[in-house]
């Protein structure tokens, strides 16, 4: 694992996640509304799968690692998407 491989994995994950999340949400809302809550988890899992397949900077082995890795990345992404806009809005209002 190298720094460049890790950065490539992060970039691939971010691009795939940003493309897949709206697509999976739209498909779930159209065809399987019971999966709406899991749309973020599904897109995170698929993005991790693509990132680990495309680059050598991310290696995930074992079922439990896939499950916990997906959950951890999804939770961090969820909090980032929730908190970062609040921080930027607060700075803009203060400025």
What total number of domains does the chain contain? 1
- What mean pLDDT do residues 21-35 have? 81
The rounded percent of the chain whose pLDDT value lies above 90 is 23
Q: Are 44 and 73 in contact (CB under 8 A)?
A: yes
User: What is the model's pLDDT at position 39?
Assistant: 83
* DSSP code per residue over 22-72: HHHHHHHHHH-GGGGGGHHHHHHHHHHHHHHHH-SS----SHHHHHHHHHH
Question: What are 42-78's pLDDT values in tens digits?
Answer: 889 999 999 988 887 888 899 999 999 999 999 998 8
In this prediction, residue 36 has a pLDDT band, given cuts at 50, 70 and 90, of confident
User: What is the model's pLDDT at position 1?
Assistant: 64
In this prediction, residue 87 has a pLDDT band, given cuts at 50, 70 and 90, of confident
Asked if pLDDT for residue 19 goes beyond 80, the answer is yes
Q: Considering the entire predicted model, what is its pTM?
A: 0.76
Range of the domain at 61: 3-94
């Amino acid at each position: 694992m190298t720094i460049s491989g890790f950065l490539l994995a992060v970039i691939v994950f971010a691009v795939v996640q940003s493309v897949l999340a709206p697509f999976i949400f739209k498909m779930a809302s159209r065809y399987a509304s019971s999966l709406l809550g899991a749309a973020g988890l599904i897109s995170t899992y698929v993005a991790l799968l693509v990132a680990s397949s495309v680059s050598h900077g991310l290696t995930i082995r074992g079922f439990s690692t896939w499950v916990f890795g997906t959950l951890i990345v999804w939770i961090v992404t969820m909090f980032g998407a929730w908190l970062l806009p609040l921080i930027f809005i607060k700075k803009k209002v203060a400025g």
